[in-house]
Structure 1
């Protein structure tokens, strides 16, 4: 079973947490199977490669990512540019939602400047690979993804090959307003809590001015995948498993909580583009289902002042059966080289540097580098520096830096889209659950037949 391992050897986390307050410096292989040996030396953040061009001209690269420039990416490119005057990188931000990804895809397909880009889901990477936009990294033998990133990296392979390097530790969890929990007489949830427990917590935390639970749009209905991934998205006989009982439970619990008004109605949230992370930090919800990316805002106390302490809980289970649940985690932020870029070699040099420590300025915003070339303790110090007292460190240690059985959804984007079309009808009250599940499965089966390999 694949595990998400957030800490790599050396100093234990408890010691790190104890030292964090005194730490300074806060800032917001490509082999297809990893079998062949990599060269003895690989460049890290402090030793950027000495690049040169045959013409002597400066190569200009553009990297597209979903993180605001001021939350780390700008510091990253500035550090690279200072060390590499012959390869200069600029950063373009796109919002990681459907319109934002369409903006990136359009840039890639129309030949706009996009030499490197970050994929935040397997389905997006698959779609870009199929369109010939993500470079097959097996063309290079000087970087071993498996050796550097560990076994979780393989979850991002497509047909045994890498079309991007997963660069950070990834995990979804529940952010908790600890002060609101205490006022309601609720303990920080146990690691094995369920969505039935979540419903009770949301009901007790709900007030006239505060929701019980918000789900970040990027993680919406992720609880369905947590159960389905453990069972398999496709049954052994090759037919759809999107209508399994755990999936039904996942959709149903969301509908019930919206009906009870302990979380916003789906239509209201999506239409208004609710700023869920900001609402949580303002105390407008007791719980937020999101990921580590919220740290960039939670740690920014100047722009997001808060008086309450934040605690953490694991993603709730739909079933108490350990074999019917996996955690949405592993590795993420898969950075690809545009297969159509005229500067692929320069982009590859930057990508190796970025993965092996160049991305360190992103750590203060929750993006912990996954490369073994990076000292994980240093990244964690950046994450907690100056703000450790604003978190419940015991739950942070157990949840954010815990070790759990994980998955990365391998559903194709077309299937994700058709499934969303159907569950939206259910959540909006336009279709009952039975019809929703049956239609999902039928449409998935049609897709499987049309794309049978």
Structure 2
């Protein structure tokens, strides 16, 4: 997965402005009088991933006498080209998608298409993924892949400190105790985390403690600065103050990879790098809060596939969407995308793979949570402000009191 669903929806206002000027386009499939129906498909991937995707597109084309798909690889220019295409009414028929809050006005609602496929079609896709591909109750994308977050740990450092490795039933108290022992008995810190965490990601810790940034109406007051929320921020700050956790400039990946930290919490993006390094690591569910009445919760980073509302060939586009999100294609992407289909996870015995299973356990535990980025219209500005507030709490040069910082954050 090359795109993350991140907190800063930096293109939201620009895209909204562009979409507001779009005229109405044809909404039914139009097949040329001769030849195949032409479909454009935009991907954000690069290099070898694009070659693999092209081979998959070629298979679709070979199997369809009436449809021809042309793949357009946008790479780092993906967002720029998608927003420009939507603004000019020339967006690709089908495209990868992650930033639904910014782009949904240019996308075709897919609920009627899904309904025609039957309930079994929808039920075969992990429940927790649907809200991340929907806005205001309408579905705009079909899930392709995802990552949740898990706890990564260094087996060698745990052995060196004489600490038993983490288990799925760990609480944060267990993590803190282990982190202290590791810091006291090795040259590493017990835990690494970001001193300026992405607000989109960090909300999962509040969810795990029965809190959130906002309520269903988008109200921050009484939510972000609730006692349950403050407990989470205080816990991380205390670990840093007590010297067994380190707040880093980035995600903590560098510190974990260089064995300067024995644990950190992150998505699946760095697994291949760790394996290439020969790092002796494991991964397990995120610890739960001792007094919470539920398991730990993770934010999701998803990739979906969506259809342009301006496509003149929507029936053909839907055929390609079904192909790209179907069983065969999902199996082909294993290794670059975690499958979103229950039947593929079962048939490929993915839950027996210790490198994959915790991500799915966290996925199932995380159903029913809606990120604040999907609730608040001006999330881009709110996210920037929250990131600065969080840095005041965790930056080792400041370590400001949690309560006043969060109270001020909701008042801005």
TM-score normalized by the length of structure 1: 0.64
Q: How does 1:324-339 map to 2 (within 5 A)?
A: 326-328=296-298, 332-339=302-309
Q: What CA RMSD, in Å, does the superposition of the two structures yield over aligned residues?
A: 4.0
CA contact (8 A) 2:91 2:308 kept: no
Change (3 A) 1:166 1:237: closer
1:410 aligned to which of 360, 371, 374: 371
2:228 aligned to which of 246, 254, 260: 246
CA contact (8 A) 2:213 2:372 kept: no
Query: Structure 1 residue 220: deviation in Å?
Result: 4.6
Change (3 A) 1:228 1:318: closer
- 1:206-255 alpha-carbon deviations (Å, 9 max, x no partner): 48864433347667524433336667832899764111222212222333
2:266 equivalent to 1:290: yes
Give the match for residue 155 of structure 1: 131
CA contact (8 A) 1:146 1:153 kept: no
- 1:335-354 alpha-carbon deviations (Å, 9 max, x no partner): 22233456655443322111
1:362 aligned to which of 302, 310, 333: 333
> Which consecutive unaligned segments of at least 5 residues does structure 2 have?
1-29, 63-67, 374-378
CA contact (8 A) 2:124 2:343 kept: yes
2:202 aligned to which of 221, 240, 263: 221
2:190 equivalent to 1:212: yes
Change (3 A) 1:260 1:331: closer
2:137 equivalent to 1:137: no
Change (3 A) 1:229 1:68: farther
2:386 equivalent to 1:427: no
Change (3 A) 1:369 1:248: same
1:174 aligned counterpart, secondary structure: strand
Give the match for residue 374 of structure 1: 344
* Inter-partner Cα distance in structure 2 for 1:59 and 1:313: 45
2:152 equivalent to 1:175: yes
1:80 aligned to which of 45, 51, 57: 57
* Inter-partner Cα distance in structure 1 for 2:173 and 2:85: 43
- 1:13-61 alpha-carbon deviations (Å, 9 max, x no partner): xxxxxxxxxxxxxxxxxxxxxxxxxxxxxxxxxxxxxx97555368362
- 1:66-101 alpha-carbon deviations (Å, 9 max, x no partner): x6653x55413322224416212233334xxxxx88
* Inter-partner Cα distance in structure 1 for 2:239 and 2:78: 30
